[in-house]
Amino acid sequence: MWLLNSSIGRKLVMSISGLFLILFLLFHLCMNIVAVFSGEAYNMVCEFLGTNWYALVGTLVLAAGVLVHFVYAWILTMQNRKARGNDRYAATARPKGVEWASQNMFVLGLIVILGLILHLSHFWANMMLAELAGVHGEIAPTDGAKFINFYFQGNIVNTILYVIWFVALWFHLTHGFWSAIQTLGWNNNIWLGRWECISKWVATIICGLFVVITIIFYVNGVGA
């Protein structure tokens, strides 16, 4: 199967799964924006999603996306290390024009995974999983707004951990977005610079808003 056996096929999978995850981030961002303005409206969204079949299917598709992206990242990175060979250069210099993020995508991805685990333990485990299992603590599994306040309002540790997570994601996306476009072959001399610029904007808008919203939650909690 060329999606596994060929280098460009593997890159295609990486690219599509990455773009899919970016789409999901945009969707998630919209939900967070809702919570900034109204905890009640946010809870309506939570309730609407809840443990309905479409939310469950969505979760499974998303999990598959993350898994595929991660497994391919692992395969790619291991193959690339092997292709580099065992002997390393004694003198190295990063040439001008090579972005740091582009050479550290796997490490950045690992930080993203760690943040993701923390995030799932805060919300998914207490909400969807709790509802499915029928066991929950004091806060009802559908009361997303309360969970946000519980984990962020006045909680500096969580706030800082989330901000670190978003910074790693920012680096990942500054390279990831245009790299995905390039992998799809949708690039030329003129668009090369443009896509790189757009990539930085995409990363900055997504991660910047996540950071700002997290800080708002830290200071104010969800909107009244």
Summarize as ranges the residues that interact with another protein (CB under 8 A): 2, 5-12, 76, 79-80, 82-85, 87-99, 102-103, 105, 175, 178-179, 182-189, 192
Q: Which x/- pattern, by CB under 6 A, does the window 76-115 give for ligand HEM? A: xx---------------------------xx--xx-xx--
Query: Helix, strand, coil % (nearest 5) of the chain?
Result: 80, 0, 20
Question: Binds 188, which of ligand HEM, another protein, none (CB < 5 to 8 A, cut-off by type)?
Answer: another protein
C-alpha pair distances (Å), 89 with each of 92, 143, 175, 203: 6, 55, 25, 32
DSSP string, 103-142: G-HHHHHHHHHHHHHHHIIIIIIIIIIHHHHT---SS-TT
Question: Binds 126, which of another protein, ligand HEM, none (CB < 5 to 8 A, cut-off by type)?
Answer: none
Q: Does 141 contact ligand HEM by CB under 6 A? A: no
Question: Binds 83, which of ligand HEM, another protein, none (CB < 5 to 8 A, cut-off by type)?
Answer: another protein
Closest approach, Cβ 71 to ligand HEM, in A, equals: 9
Diameter of the chain by CA atoms?
Answer: 60
At residue 68's C-alpha, the angle toward residues 63 and 70, to 5°, is 95
- Nearer Cβ to another protein (92/138): 92
- Nearer Cβ to ligand HEM (113/139): 113
- Contact predicate 69/18, CB 8 Å: yes
- Nearer Cβ to ligand HEM (34/73): 73
